[in-house]
Amino acid sequence: MTNIKGPAIFLAQFLGENPPFNTLAGICQWASKLGFVGVQLPTWDSRCINLQLAAESKTYADELKGTIAACGLEITELSTHLQGQLLAVHPTYNALFDGFAPAEVHNNPNARTAWAAQQLLWAAKASANLGLQAHATFSGSLLWPMVYPWPQRPAGLVETGFGELANRWLPILNAFDEVGVDLCYELHPGEDLHDGVSYDMFLEKTGYHPRACLLYDPSHFVLQGMDYLAFIDFYYDRIKMFHVKDAEFNPTGKQGVYGGYQPWIDRAGRFRSLGDGQVNFKSIFSKLAAYNYSGWAVLEWECCIKHQEDGAAEGAEFIKRHLIRTTERAFDDFAGTANNETFNRSILGI
């Protein structure tokens, strides 16, 4: 068994306009004082990283690592959640998702897709230059409006959608493979890859690509009513990243999974700060350790109630308490006998 690394924190939800959250050095010093030892960087925020420069300059990558190391931290992974989303966008969402892209590609879906693909190719090289093993992203979605359709889906629509999604991702998966970095999809409602079955369909279309891996976040499975512990048993060999995020699902006589168009605070399913929700993290950490997960445990804060700074401070301690220093010996070793084939055969009478 291996030891999970942490605690780490995803910076995306904590960056802001005021110190210490408005500069990389400032937010890293803040995180270090809370007890975090790693940071996951959102690549769409130029305060954290110049993605193109990190891909093209090993010197810049080393300087970026040095800035973070000076705060007592290391980079755990890079994230292209927003760019990955833009690799596949259903026309229904064109106007909404244009906000994730630069102005020069607005109202031009093909140009936006090409921009997103270039971002992901740079992310592969940047991850390699930074010495990282895994990378976080979203799959994007061509099919999400059809997840619960009326009228019914035309025959073959899902197969066509997943075929196109795989075609868009295969060159990027190959680029990550060339530099030895796992590309980890966060399974998330709103994405075509949102549960195990949809991930299986994508894997099949990509020829079970070795770099098509997973970012495990149990909160999204709680909100779908899935067995998030059994999910680990199915996919442990593909799980290369871990977001430690809590959630709760409390359906009523008036609403359930879909939430009735309500704001987060009024939904049956809500994200919560660590320890305030329903996720059984003791079992999750135990399962991941037993399956030799050796990556990072990264706090992602998205609570609809608690202040983010309190969630971060409590989250660092929460993850520390759940990290398991795995044993190197069996508890009953003291009563064992030496390996002796002759003796073993005599016991069996053979």
**CA angle, 178 as apex, 51 and 7 as ends, to 5°?**
55
Do strands 212-216 and 38-42 pair parallel, antiparallel, or not at all (unpaired)? unpaired
Q: At what angle do helices 281-290 and 308-322 cross, to 10 degrees?
A: 50
Rounded to an integer, the average pLDDT of 157-177 is: 98
What's the confidence (pLDDT) of residue 334? 66
| One-letter-per-residue 3-state SS of the chain | CCCCEEEEEECCCCCCCCCCCCCHHHHHHHHHHHCCCEEEEECCCCCCCCHHHHHHCHHHHHHHHHHHHCCCCEEEEEEEHHHHHCCCECHHHHHHHHHHCCHHHCCCHHHHHHHHHHHHHHHHHHHHHCCCCEEEECCCECCHHHCCCCCCCCCCHHHHHHHHHHHHHHHHHHHHHHHCCEEEEECCCCCCCCCHHHHHHHHHHCCCCCCEEEEECHHHHHCCCCCHHHHHHHHCCCEEEEEECEEEECCCCCCCCCHHHCCHHHCCEEEECCCCCCCCHHHHHHHHHHCCCCCEEEECCCCCCCCHHHHHHHHHHHHHHHCCCCCCCCCCHHHCCCCCHHHHHHHHCC
What's the confidence (pLDDT) of residue 337? 74
- The amino acid present at 50, given as its one-letter code, is N
Please determine, for residue 235, whether its predicted confidence score (pLDDT) is greater than 90. Answer: yes
67-99 pLDDT, tens per residue? 999 999 999 999 999 999 999 999 999 999 999
260-303 pLDDT, tens per residue? 999 999 999 999 999 999 999 999 999 999 999 999 999 999 99
The CATH classification of domain 5-348, taken from the options 3.90.180.10, 3.20.20.150, 3.40.50.970, 3.40.50.2000: 3.20.20.150
Tell whether pTM > 0.85. Answer: yes
**Alpha-carbon 141 to chain mean position:** 17
Please choose, from the candidates 310, 308, 287, 307, the residue with its C-alpha nearest in 3D space to the C-alpha of residue 297: 287
Strand partners, 186: 215
Domain ranges of the chain: 5-348
Task: Centre a 10 Å sphere on the Cβ of residue 24 and count the other Cβ atoms it contains.
Answer: 20
Token output for 183: 């590309």
15-59 pLDDT, tens per residue? 999 999 999 999 999 999 999 999 999 999 999 999 999 999 999
Rounded Cα distance, 44 and 41, in Å: 9
